[in-house]
Amino acid sequence: EVQVVESGGGLVKPGGSLRLSCAVSGFIFNSAWINWVRQAPGKGLEWVGRIKSRNDDGTTDYAAPVKGRFTISRDDSTGTVYLQMNALITEDTAVYYCTTEPAYDQNWFDPWGQGTPVTVSS
Amino acid sequence: DIQMTQSPSSLSASVGDRVTITCRASRNIARYLNWYQHKPGKAPNLLIYAASNLQSGVPSRFSGSGSGTDFTLTISSLRPEDFATYYCQQTYSVSMYTFGQGTKLEIK
C-alpha cells in the first residue's frame, strides 16, 4: 500500500521560512512525479507545484503565486520530497497536501497525504 | 493558463437522487481531466481519471464523461457518504495544473 505522510507545518511570521517534508513509501518512488496542493481556510484546492522524476529530467513547475518563493526538491534515496517556503505571506496560510502522480503518462493525483497545516501570522 | 469552471458551485440533493456536476475548460484539454472528492479534515480522493476511468475501489455509481472542453461527473444514486465537495482538475498543461473552484454537495 502506498503511503504519503507530510510533516513540518506550523506557525510562522510573515517574511519567515518553513520547510515541509513528504515521505512516500510502498511504490516505485523514483518514477513518480510529486505534487504539492494547498487549501486555504474556506477556499478550494490550489495546485502549488510539482517535481518530476529524475528519469523525466527532475524539473520543477510552480503556480504563479508561489513562483520565486517556494522550491521543491527530492531525495530519491529516502523517498522524501521537500517544499521549502520562503518570504511567506498571510495568503500562504493553508493545509498543504503532498500527492503522487504515478508516472509521466499517468497524470492524476493518487494517493494523497492527510495534509500539514501552515499558519502565517504575526 | 487554463481556467476550469465548475457548475453549480453548490447543490442540495437527497439520498437516492441522480446528480450531475459539470466542468468546463477555457480551452481544449482532450481527456486530461480528473475528478476528486474531498471531505473536511480528510485527504482528497481520486474518483475518475482521464475523463471517464473509474479509479480502483470507487463505487460504480460514480461516472465521468466528456472531452475537449466540456466534462461531467454523475452520481447515479446518492448515498449519505457522498455528501462532500467535488473538484475537477486539468493536467493537459503539464507546467501548470489547475482545479475547478469546487462543487459543494449538501443534503436537502
pLDDT in tens, B94-103: 999 999 999 9
B71 in contact with A, Cβ within 8 Å: no
A30 pLDDT exceeds 90? no
DSSP string, chain A: --EEEEE--EEE-TT--EEEEEEEESS-GGG-EEEEEEE-TT--EEEEEEE--GGGT--EEE-TTTTTTEEEEEETTTTEEEEEE-S--GGG-EEEEEEEE-BTTB-S--SB---EEEEE--
Reported confidence tier of residue A1, pLDDT bands at 50, 70, 90: confident
Going across the sheet that includes A33-39, the strands are A10-12, A116-120, A94-101, A33-39, A45-51, A60-62
Reported confidence tier of residue B21, pLDDT bands at 50, 70, 90: very high
Angle CA(A76)–CA(A80)–CA(A86) in degrees, nearest 5? Answer: 120
B104 in contact with A, Cβ within 8 Å: no
CB contact under 8 A, A97 and B89: no
CB contact under 8 A, A109 and B32: no
Mean predicted confidence (pLDDT) in A7-36: 94
b (16+ CB within 10 A) / e for A55-77: eeeeebbbbeebeeebbbebeee
Query: Number of C-alpha atoms within 13 angstroms, CB side, residue B59?
Result: 11
Q: Which residue, chain included where needed, has cell 436537502? A: B108
For residue A82, the model assigns a pLDDT of: 98
A29 pLDDT exceeds 90? no
CB contact under 8 A, A109 and B100: no
CB contact under 8 A, B85 and A44: yes
Residue B57 DSSP class: T
**Residue-averaged pLDDT of chain B:** 97
CB contact under 8 A, B44 and A99: yes
- B-chain residues near A115 (CB < 8 A): 43
Q: Which residue, chain included where needed, has cell 500527492? A: A99
Q: Which of A5, A97, A110, A116 to mutate to test the interface with B (most CBs of B within 10 A)?
A: A110
A104 pLDDT exceeds 90? no
Q: How close, in Å, is residue B68 to chain A by CA atoms?
A: 16
- B-chain residues near A50 (CB < 8 A): 97
* Separation CA A56–CA A103 (nearest Å): 9
CB contact under 8 A, B102 and A114: no
Interacting residues of B67 by C-beta distance below 8 A, sequence separation 6+: B30, B31, B51
What three-state secondary structure class fits B41? coil
Residue B55 DSSP class: P
pLDDT in tens, B39-85: 999 999 999 999 999 999 999 999 999 999 999 999 999 999 999 99
For residue B30, the model assigns a pLDDT of: 98
Q: How close, in Å, is residue B64 to chain A by CA atoms?
A: 14
Q: What percent of chain A has pLDDT over 70?
A: 100
Cα dihedral B40, B46, B50, B52 in deg (nearest 10): -90
For residue B42, the model assigns a pLDDT of: 97
**Residue-averaged pLDDT of chain A:** 95
DSSP string, B63-87: EEEEETTEEEEEESS--GGG-SEEE
Reported confidence tier of residue A102, pLDDT bands at 50, 70, 90: confident
CB contact under 8 A, A112 and B45: yes
How many beta-carbon contacts under 8 Å exist across A and B? 60
Which residue type sits at A12?
Answer: V
